[in-house]
Chain A
Amino acid sequence: MGLAKRIIPCLDVDDGRVVKGVKFVNIRDAGNPIEIAQRYDEQGADELTFLDITASSDKRETMIHVVEEVAGKVFIPLTVGGGIRKVADIRKMLNAGADKVAINTAAVANPEFVKEAAEKFGSQCIVVAIDAKRVNAPSKALRWEIFTHGGRKETGIDAVQWAAKMVNYGAGELLVTSMDRDGTKSGFDNELNRSISDLVTVPVIASGGVGNLEHLVDGIKEGHCDAVLAASIFHFGEFTVGQAKKHMAARGIEMRID
């Protein structure tokens, strides 16, 4: 018996409110981020991730206040992503109370940024977020490429090779989101997750597509991930984090259960 697998509820935050959409449309308001963070903490969440999807940069200050308030009330690890482009952005979030930052678009635009960030703040607080989509031609081997700008912009970069490169550059953890599955409730892309997790030395978080509790089990058993991230199954009250943990534990996965 040893290290537990983690469940990480994810809060997409737009101008201070938690929202959730399906493939970036039909965005539904899911509530106040501080109240939701406290609810998940009480339910036994192992960590929380906040992704700032606010379009306009002048509203980004809102996110800092959200992090500050959550960090004063919730004593579990907090990751913040969205709009992290400069060393100063990282420092602001860490000072506000975040433990880790997730870097996505800025890593693709300038991979050296990941190196600089890891050297400055330590790998343990640098998560590289990878948004990947299947691009394999029929009858060819499986292949994924990374997309940026919330999945709208293709890059032509191979996702598995990119993952290995980001670990070499100092990423302490990878957050892998399947753009094909995100918001579909059809389960993680376990082949994608396994391809990455089996290759790299650092923990991998599965993201994108959770529709039921068995999908979380698959993320660990089939996707070989160290943590599973989900949003809508928790936001709209379908399941509590506690129910999810009990289900995973009953399927033989080591979990933190009080």
Chain B
Amino acid sequence: MNTIAVIDYGMGNLHSVAKAIEHAPGNCKVIVTHAKNEILAADRVVLPGVGAMRDCIGEIKRLELDYIIQEVSKSKPFLGVCVGMQALMEYSAENNGVDCLNILPGHVELFDANMTNAQNERLKIPHMGWNKVTQNSSHPLWQGIPQDSRFYFVHSYYVRTNDNNHEAASTDYGVKFTSAVAHENIFAVQFHPEKSQHLGLKLYDNFIHWDGNR
């Protein structure tokens, strides 16, 4: 049985992630858990997250999940979502600076308050709604998802990767930012596939069939 552990560290709407994975075609068992043995035993791991970075990292450390995440992010198909993507970086500017899990090289910064679009309209923060995701390279998780498809975003901070080879997609919002990263068995997205209708479910479907190779 294909078991997918959704890491539960008390932050945000984990159940919608679990429901979306369950809804994707394909036979799998989803467990929402912070039990180390269950995470280590799962075939695939999802790190979701909404909320503030300090609380997120604080809870991960309090539950002693940081080492577990470091371990499974090296060894099995691993998907980070939203704050779960940001948490993989070295540090975040949120909450006056937070050291993150340091799994991928890069950092997290706040959108500039004075950004405008091509029509010179001021851009609101959070970046909330459906924006285009431009895939930079082919990847099994993009299979069946057309180039420049729209996904649902809600965030005020964004990832700046230090390794351009890790950028799997970019999105424009006043600045061109990294909206997905891929490295070996890790894939992570800034948007919410579980709230992005058919194409979001397609991405989860791709994930539950992914062997962790490119």
Contact = CB atoms under 8 A, between A and B. Distances in A.
Interface of A: 1-6, 41, 46, 71-72, 75-77, 94-95, 97-99, 121-125, 172-173, 201-204, 224, 226-227, 256
Interface residues of B, number: 39
Contacts of B44: none
Contacts of A226: 124, 128-129
A5 B127 CA distance: 12
B15 A3 contact: no
A75 B129 contact: no
Given A71-B19, A72-B19, A172-B126, 18 more contacts: A2-B172, A3-B117, A3-B123, A3-B129, A3-B153, A71-B15, A77-B154, A77-B195, A94-B12, A94-B13, A95-B15, A121-B12, A122-B52, A172-B154, A173-B128, A201-B113, A224-B121, A226-B128
B150 interface: yes
A1 B50 contact: no
Contacts of B131: 2-4
Contact of B129 (A6, A71, A98): A6
20 contacts: A2-B117, A2-B132, A2-B172, A4-B130, A71-B16, A71-B19, A75-B200, A76-B196, A77-B192, A94-B13, A97-B13, A97-B16, A121-B12, A121-B51, A122-B50, A124-B51, A124-B154, A172-B126, A201-B113, A204-B124
B173 interface: yes
B197 interface: yes
Interface in B151-175: 152-156, 172-173
Contacts of B127: 3
Nearest to A119: B52
A interface SS class: loop
Contacts of A98: 13
B87 interface: no
Given A75-B197, A76-B197, A99 B13 contact: yes
B205 interface: no
B39 interface: no
Contact of B150 (A4, A71, A125): A4
> Taking chain B's interface residues, is the majority helix, strand, or loop, or is none over half, making it mixed?
mixed
A89 B161 CA distance: 38
Nearest to A6: B129
Contacts of A122: 12, 50-52
B194 A75 contact: yes
B20 interface: yes
In the A-B complex, the 7 residue pairs with the closest CB atoms: A122-B51, A256-B130, A4-B130, A3-B131, A203-B124, A256-B150, A124-B154
Nearest to A255: B130
Contacts of A76: 152, 195-197
B40 interface: no
A97 B50 contact: no
